[in-house]
Structure 1
Amino acid sequence: MAARPLAALAAIGLAAASVASMPAPAAAHPFGDPQTVAITLDEQRPEVVHVRWRVGGPDDLTLLGVSLGVLPQDRIMLDGAVDSRYTDPATIASSERFTAYLLRQITVSAGGRPCAGAVEPPMALDLKGATVDYTCPGPVGTVTVGVRMLTDLNPAYRTLATGPGGQRAVYETGKDSHDWTLSGEPAADGTGPGRSAVIQIAAVLGGVLVAAAAAVAVARRVRGRRVRTRKAATNG
């Protein structure tokens, strides 16, 4: 029965991606492309958990850089638009403030004991994201992963998360902690790819589709206004 909702989810994702690829005004907002997290267990070291985070859009990454004091405040326009530049990812990735932010906003614990995190030097932060390696007190089967990335900037931000065996979850304000089965079979208590997780992810991607469509509509109205203005000037 899970195949049908997953197929529908894939269709929504493709539609959202195609619409979001159209030109749209640059502005950081929590209803754009969602950020993602991938959680895996190290194949050679059963006590190490890898968490890879990827930002949703370059404007959100620039907004984070400004909030951390890594980028200048004037990158945020008076109307809320964000001036993103191609050098921003490298500037943010090399900052110790960003490293500290990752370790503060993403946490892993096993058996109620925290796992120590170490950030791998990010390469192409905007494209490949950043990976944090968490070393737990011993080999892990189930871990609790907390994700609060960007929700301190705007509580509406969400994170789509995936884990071994098709496990999925949506992190959001008020639901920033989730248990993941990293070895053995996923538990039957909702940590697997259950209906609720599928519905949540579909809702997030559906919101992306609506937001992207609205942005395209605004862009078309602006373009039409400019064309009419040019025609009026020519006729005059």
Structure 2
Amino acid sequence: MARLPRALAVVAGFVLAATAGVPAYAHPFGAPQTATIAGTTGAPEVTWRFGATDDIAYLAVQVGALPPDRMTLDGVVLYEPGDEKALARSEAYAEYVLDHIRIEGCDGSVDASDDLVADGTTVTFDCSSPASATKIEIDMMTDLHPAYQTLASGPNGQKAAYAGTTRSHGWTLDESRAAATGLSALLQIGGTLGGIALLGAGGWWLVRRRSASASAS
């Protein structure tokens, strides 16, 4: 019988060793995070939402938007009203988002609503050289626990799961904003040139009419 307690101690040791590198306050096994992909190839948009309010509090402590003493001795951070506002207004959170939602070769800007639960966080990208397929990387909160995942949806029923080692997916978006802007500019230039041509023709007709009148008199 003396061997049983020793065996249990060995098993407990293995469990502690396996979980030692994982923060105790991370809870990745609840409702998944979600993301909505929109925009164009030149200006993609990603709106990311937390799966649960507890995750807001955990991440807020992680990035320094909430004080460390919000975490209890057993590693729990309980959500309190106003936590989402503190996180949304934190510059550290904006930097965190840009580190974990990325498009290679594109610059991103963050718009975090005070109501992170309902409205989420939107990242708008500016892609100077858009590709036909937009590859978007998302690994939000995986630094808290690798089991966190984001379920994403996009135009025309596109769906993808950012989970495990899969951190990147390609998305088919509408034509680039740059192409549309270029076409608009061409139309504006064409209209301007057309107006100049009409003015020139009108001026030529007026001069000729005056010349004809002078000759007749």
Matches within 5 A, 1:182-193: 182-183=173-174
Matches within 5 A, 1:12-31: 28-31=26-29
User: 1:55 is matched with which residue?
Assistant: 50
Q: Distance in 1 between matches of 2:157 and 2:33?
A: 18
User: 1:172 is matched with which residue?
Assistant: 163
User: 1:145 is matched with which residue?
Assistant: 136
Q: Deviations over 1:104-145 (max 9, x none)?
A: 100013xxxx11101124231122101010010145531000
Q: Deviations over 1:10-62 (max 9, x none)?
A: xxxxxxxxxxxxxxxxx7510111100111125xxx51111000001111110
Q: Distance in 2 between matches of 1:80 and 1:31?
A: 16
Residue identity in the other structure for 1:144: K
Residue identity in the other structure for 1:65: A
Q: Pick one of 88, 92, 115 that aligns with 2:106.
A: 115
Q: Deviations over 1:38-92 (max 9, x none)?
A: 11125xxx51111000001111110001011111122222333322111101101
User: 2:97 is matched with which residue?
Assistant: 102
Q: Distance in 2 between matches of 1:139 and 1:54?
A: 25
The answer to whether structure 1 residue 154 and structure 2 residue 108 are counterparts is no
User: Unaligned regions of 5+ residues in structure 1, if any?
Assistant: 1-26, 185-236
Q: Distance in 2 between matches of 1:86 and 1:165?
A: 36
Query: Which SS does the other structure have where 1:157 is aligned?
Result: coil
Residue identity in the other structure for 2:63: L
- Does the aligned pair in 1 maintain the 2:28–2:147 contact within 8 Å? yes
Number of equivalenced pairs: 151
- Does the aligned pair in 2 maintain the 1:62–1:84 contact within 8 Å? yes
Largest Rg, 1 or 2? 2
Residue identity in the other structure for 2:36: A
- Does the aligned pair in 1 maintain the 2:54–2:78 contact within 8 Å? yes
Greater relative contact order (CA < 8 Å, ≥ 6 in sequence): 1
Q: Pick one of 64, 69, 73 that aligns with 1:69.
A: 64
- Does the aligned pair in 2 maintain the 1:140–1:183 contact within 8 Å? no
Q: Distance in 2 between matches of 1:81 and 1:107?
A: 30
- Does the aligned pair in 2 maintain the 1:140–1:182 contact within 8 Å? no
The answer to whether structure 1 residue 86 and structure 2 residue 57 are counterparts is no
Residue identity in the other structure for 1:66: V
Query: Which SS does the other structure have where 2:171 is aligned?
Result: strand
Give the alignment's Cα RMSD to 1 decimal.
Answer: 1.7
Identity of aligned residues (%): 42
Q: Distance in 2 between matches of 1:65 and 1:120?
A: 16
**What TM-score comes out, normalization by structure 2 length?**
0.65
Matches within 5 A, 1:214-233: none
User: 2:38 is matched with which residue?
Assistant: 40
User: 1:217 is matched with which residue?
Assistant: none
Residue identity in the other structure for 1:34: P
User: 2:124 is matched with which residue?
Assistant: 133
- Does the aligned pair in 1 maintain the 2:153–2:160 contact within 8 Å? yes
Query: Which SS does the other structure have where 1:145 is aligned?
Result: strand
